[in-house]
Structure 1
Amino acid sequence: MAVMNIGTYAFQMVAARLLGPSQYGAVAGMMALLMVLSVVQLGLQATAARRIAAAPEDVAAIEQTILTTTWRAAIVLGALALAAAPAVWWLLRLDGLLPAVLLALCVVPVTVMGGQAGVLQGERRWLPLSLLYLSVGVPRVVLGGACLLVSATEASAMLGVLAASWLPVLIGSWVLRNRVHGAIVTEHDREVRRDVRRETYSSSAALLAFVALSNLDVVVARNVLDDHQAGLYAGGLIVTKAVLFLPQFAVVILFPSMSTAGESRAAVLRGLAFLTALAAACVAGAYLLSGLALVFIGGNDYEDVQDRLWLFACLGGLLSILQLLVYAGLAKRGRWTKYLVSAGVLALVVAGALAGSVTSLALTVAVVDLVVVALLVALQVFRGRRGMETLVG
């Protein structure tokens, strides 16, 4: 996962350097929308991992349902995104319609990869899952960078992302090639299948709210700031994404434990302690080594945002903690998690629309994220006390 995140970060860095602030702002907006459009990927992965870890006796029905639903959902989402391509073209002020079409096509392989990863994560098959993650990051920077070197345009960047997105699907299909189960015939298996689909919808809704909260600020920036300022904000978000993605392995490894009775509370506490310490270190590093950080986000073209890179690191730290808390809620199939995060999305869009500078927008996002984190921590404390009272009773 570290290599995957470095590859993803490196692609952003290459794009920022070759395209410049104005065009890179558009590419960053498309990558943010890709995360939002492919949220079912995360829902499928979370559902598969949780159900397989929590109910290994139903693994056959769960896996068959997940792998079948994955391809169907990918095709439907890809078609919807393709239909919405003209709206994306207008919203992000792209150079043409082609980048938006390529963005829509990326949704299909990204969604399929989520279902495959969820099966491997739930079974705790870390080596095959590692191969899957490696095939996400490395090809993106290699193929995406090559396309940008040939032609430094928005369309070239998305063409590279599209080509790279199919490699993890091919590897996942190969790893799971013998995963063929018999037809579901018992009433119990049918009920498991229905429940898996319901949980997938619910998990996708909660994760959609998180993905929107962690990505829509760059879209807001594209609409409330001029092209140069929006590009500077997108450059600062490279630091945010680096801090967010750096400890993502912790969430992946802890999620099966958070879904298992008796391990959940300890897993959440370990995760919060680790992520808080790492976030503090990253903020300090971005403040003390802002010159070095500037090199990695695109060089002197982005020097106007150098003195605020620590603030973007703070955003990444808050989002990493928020991500853990969202998955902790999914592990318990809680409903309030998605409501609280959705309220945060609404607050971000409304308050962000009032921002007039890079700093004011970043501070607005930080306040919204901090409030949502505090509410989710309070929700975890409430669930823990209620669980203890039930146990004692």
Structure 2
Amino acid sequence: MSTSRTQVSSLRRFLGGSGGIIVGTAVMNVCTFGFTIVAAGILDTADYGAFFALLNLLMVVSVVNMGLQATAARRIVEAPASVASIEHSILRVGYGTALAVGGGLAVLSPAVTWLLQLDSVVPALVLAALAVPTTVMGAHVGILQGEKRWAALSWVYVLAGIPRVAGLVLLWLRPDESIALFGSGLGYIAPVVLGWWILRRPRAGTGRQDAAAVATPDATSLVRETLHSAQALLAFFALANVDIVVARHVLSDHASGLYAVGLLVAKIMLYLPQFVVIVMFPSLATAHERRRAVVRGTAAILALGVACTLGVVLLAGVAADLLDSEKLRAVEGHLWLFAVLGTLLSITQLLVYATLARQGRRSILLVWVALVVCVVAGAMTSTPTELLTVMITVSVVLTGTLVAASLRADSGSVGGVVPAAPGAD
């Protein structure tokens, strides 16, 4: 009996801490990628390519979500006595920003239709609508992350996945790219409702600070920091998603659809270690813990990436036979390369967040340069293999450079030394 109670207590501690984030993000990722994989079997190749391109564009738009998240988490870690005022300011900025992003995308829907070579403007309007809850979710997640409320945050991530099961039912009833995007987007609505419920009452601050420290944060400074974080994350997610947009222009519909199937593995490898970034960010925002967090985070993602890449090599054929998917069989021999690409991008994501946590700026320029190189070099490719080679080559160079830059910049933080001023790397 005592052993049983001890095991239950240990399980509760695990789920109430960072372990809950592992479980929550796992549920979210399984449902998210499960939806995308099943959708590949329901939609025809051309519609699937359009859906995947829309999904990737939504991810690029969600940099505003992630900018709000990073700003909220960093501000709360930096000023724990100001939690209530930071919550109020972040939520106010988040709601206003969400409406602005959604409205802007609605106005730009004809341009989105042209960019992704869509058959109508309807999918672009669905994208605009989904941008609103996506942005609000960033404010909620950032607050919970900064306060290290892992149990509540894990439930937010669970609800970001499970509703997509209902989306599959809708897709089965009407298989087209608009319904596929809406079905996937159900995972952005439920978490916003839960986040509102959790944060409906301000949380009391902790720690002892002077009166100036607990003053309400200036909305302008929050917007400025959010925009800086958003443009940094825009650079990264544009880099992580630019290849499917390039593929839609330089490859045939069939070839770009097959490339999109391979990218499923890359996206899984990008988001599978997401819990590492989430749990590490408070340490990345703390000067004396930052360098160790970068090393531990990079090592964890790399180890997971190597293990999963070996798994892809061994199980790719089994998965293709199990799902009876001709699309998977067509790209089976290259799936491990997509796993390598996803791992490299995941490490880059950690390093971008490390740069934001120390309010650095120069390293972000390297990401923008890498993006330009991928667009220019990718435009000169004519096969999926050539495009994949370009993406891996650029990612290897960028990841190595960012690791070196981050460790060099964080070397001054060891021992609790004051972190570098904003703009320094």
Question: Given the two structures, how large is their TM-score scaled by the length of structure 2?
Answer: 0.87
List per-residue Cα deviations over 1:161-213 (Å, max 9, x = no partner).
344421111111111111289xxx97973565443332211111111111111
* Residue in structure 2 matched with residue 343 of structure 1 by the alignment: 369
- 1:48 alignment partner, one of 58, 68, 72: 72
Q: Give 4+ residue runs of structure 1 displaced > 4 Å after superposition.
A: 185-188, 190-193, 295-298, 386-392
Query: Which runs of 5 or more structure 1 residues have no equivalent in the other structure?
Result: none
* Residue in structure 2 matched with residue 66 of structure 1 by the alignment: 90
2:43 paired with 1:19:
yes
* Residue in structure 2 matched with residue 223 of structure 1 by the alignment: 249
Identity rate, percent: 45
Cα contact 1:62–1:192 (8 A) shared by 2: no
- 1:107 alignment partner, one of 131, 145, 163: 131
Cα contact 1:235–1:298 (8 A) shared by 2: no
Following the alignment from structure 1 to structure 2, what is the Cα–Cα distance between the partners of residues 213 and 296?
A: 32
2:205 paired with 1:179:
no
Cα gap change, 1:18/1:328 in structure 2, threshold over 3 Å: closer, same or farther? same
Matches within 5 A, 1:360-371: 360-371=386-397
Of residues 243-252 and 87-96 in structure 1, the stretch that sits farther from structure 2 once superposed is 87-96
Aligned-residue offset at 1:245: 1.1
Aligned-residue offset at 1:297: 8.0
Following the alignment from structure 1 to structure 2, what is the Cα–Cα distance between the partners of residues 204 and 253?
A: 20
List per-residue Cα deviations over 1:245-288 (Å, max 9, x = no partner).
11100110010011112211111111111111111112222122
Following the alignment from structure 2 to structure 1, what is the Cα–Cα distance between the partners of residues 321 and 99?
A: 39
Cα contact 1:143–1:164 (8 A) shared by 2: no
Of residues 289-298 and 95-104 in structure 1, the stretch that sits farther from structure 2 once superposed is 289-298
Cα contact 1:19–1:153 (8 A) shared by 2: yes
Question: Given the two structures, how large is their TM-score scaled by the length of structure 1?
Answer: 0.94
Question: What is the letter of the counterpart of residue 363 of structure 2?
Answer: T
Give the RMSD, CA atoms, in angstroms. Answer: 2.2
* Residue in structure 2 matched with residue 161 of structure 1 by the alignment: 184
Of residues 194-203 and 296-305 in structure 1, the stretch that sits farther from structure 2 once superposed is 296-305
Question: What is the letter of the counterpart of residue 336 of structure 2?
Answer: W
Question: What is the letter of the counterpart of residue 362 of structure 2?
Answer: W
Question: What is the letter of the counterpart of residue 172 of structure 1?
Answer: G
Matches within 5 A, 1:190-205: 192-205=218-231
2:116 paired with 1:92:
yes
2:308 paired with 1:302:
no
Cα gap change, 1:383/1:259 in structure 2, threshold over 3 Å: closer, same or farther? same
Cα contact 2:291–2:411 (8 A) shared by 1: no
Query: Which runs of 5 or more structure 2 residues have no equivalent in the other structure?
Result: 1-24, 205-210, 419-425
Cα gap change, 1:388/1:247 in structure 2, threshold over 3 Å: closer, same or farther? closer
Matches within 5 A, 1:110-149: 110-140=134-164, 142-149=165-172
Cα contact 2:367–2:398 (8 A) shared by 1: yes
Total equivalences in the alignment:
389
What secondary structure is seen at the aligned counterpart in 2 of 1:13? helix
Cα contact 1:40–1:204 (8 A) shared by 2: yes
Aligned-residue offset at 1:375: 1.4
Cα gap change, 1:180/1:277 in structure 2, threshold over 3 Å: closer, same or farther? closer
